[in-house]
Amino acid sequence: MKAIAAYKYYDAETLQEACATLNQYAGKAQVLGGGTDLIDWMKRRFMPTPDILVNIKKIPGLSGIKEEGGALKIGATTTLTDIIENSTVQSKYKALADAAMKGPAPPIRNMATIAGNLCQHVRCWYYRWPDWYCYRKGGPICFAPAGRNIAHAIMEQKVCNAVVASDPATALAAMNASVTVQGTGGTREVAVKDLYVVLGTILKPDEIITTVTVPEAPSKQAFLKSRVRNAVDFALVSAAAATTSKGTTVALGGVAPILVAGSPDDVNAAIGKAAPLSENKYKVSVAKAMVKRVTA
């Protein structure tokens, strides 16, 4: 691994300052959360080194977990460990605690922030290698269909076959959670299930996730994850279900570049239309079985 190329570093003290700096560097700046994904890809140099990292962890009020008006509010820089250990999350939002727990190993969970987890880059092995210039990097091709694709998408592929890597995203989508996004032009609320688009997230270069909101504690919930190594590994397929006053929502991770979420019937219908690649037909039956189990 090469040394990281030179970059500037800025400790933002307010959200306005952070957004203004991101705006000034117009796409050549990156928000720094725990750095467990960002610093890794800067070292591996599979993406251009940002001109500047904007650290948001010193901004007052961005970390912490509280219940407010029946909703759970999680600050963007709250770590996965804080989420796992929080008694309210454990007792009322267990699917989220389980998803964070079944995510990365403890040393990474201690540093990784919930917003950084949602915004982490995909784990496609072609993408994470400097010499493979694929669609997601602005190149002319996706290498997965004709290459190794055991961990890739079975639906919603369009141009890219990589999958959403965040386990908490699957649980949060099932819980109808949203993120508050702040930019230089103001704030907006985005459903977690709509955060991902085919080649990344809906975030603009000057935008920061500030809060994750779960609107209601589910009366019933479950999270399941299938992976190669049970001790620690990214999901081959993850599934979550949550029942609230609005009904039951199911979400699937590890199957598409976006989150697949909706009623159990909608999600089963989406699985029925799956278009697996040469090595990943097994994901269709795993997804079907997991939907059955999380909704049982």
Q: Which residues bind ligand SF4 (CB under 6 A)?
A: 122, 124, 126-127, 134-136, 142-144, 152, 160-162
When asked if residue 177 is in the footprint of ligand FAD (CB under 6 A), the reply is no
Does 195 participate in binding ligand FAD (rule CB under 6 A)?
no
**Which residue, judged by CB position, is nearest to ligand FAD in the bound state?**
116
Angle at 259 between CA 254 and CA 262, to 5 degrees: 120
CB 59 within 8 A of CB 13: yes
Smallest gap from residue 27 Cβ to ligand FAD (A): 12
Which of 101/203 has CB closer to ligand SF4? 203
Closest CB 48 distance from ligand FAD, rounded Å: 13
Q: Is 84 in the site for ligand FAD (CB under 6 A)?
A: no
Contacts with 196 (C-beta within 8 Å, 6 or more apart), sequence order: 164, 169, 202, 257, 258, 259
Is residue 36 involved in binding ligand FAD (CB under 6 A)? yes
> Closest separation between CB of residue 273 and ligand FAD, Å?
26
Number of residues in contact with ligand FAD, rule: CB under 6 A? 29
- Rule CB under 6 A: say whether 249 interacts with ligand FAD: no
Residue 134 binding target from ligand SF4, ligand FAD, none, CB below 5 to 8 Å by type:
ligand SF4
Burial of 55 (0-12, 13-18, 19+ CB in 10 A): middle
Binding at 135: pick from ligand FAD, ligand SF4, none (beta carbon under 5-8 Å per type): ligand SF4
Question: Which residue number, 41 or 126, has a Cβ lying nearer to ligand SF4?
Answer: 126
Taking the complex as a whole, how short is the minimal distance between the CB of residue 154 and ligand SF4, in angstroms? 12
**For residues 10 and 13, what is the distance between their CA atoms, to the nearest angstrom?**
9
Nearer to ligand FAD by Cβ, of 71 and 111: the residue is: 111
The one segment of 6-14, 31-39, 154-162, 262-270 that binds ligand FAD by CB under 6 A? 31-39
Contacts with ligand FAD by CB under 6 A lie at 30-38, 56, 76, 103-104, 108, 111-113, 115-117, 119-120, 165-167, 203, 208-209, 234
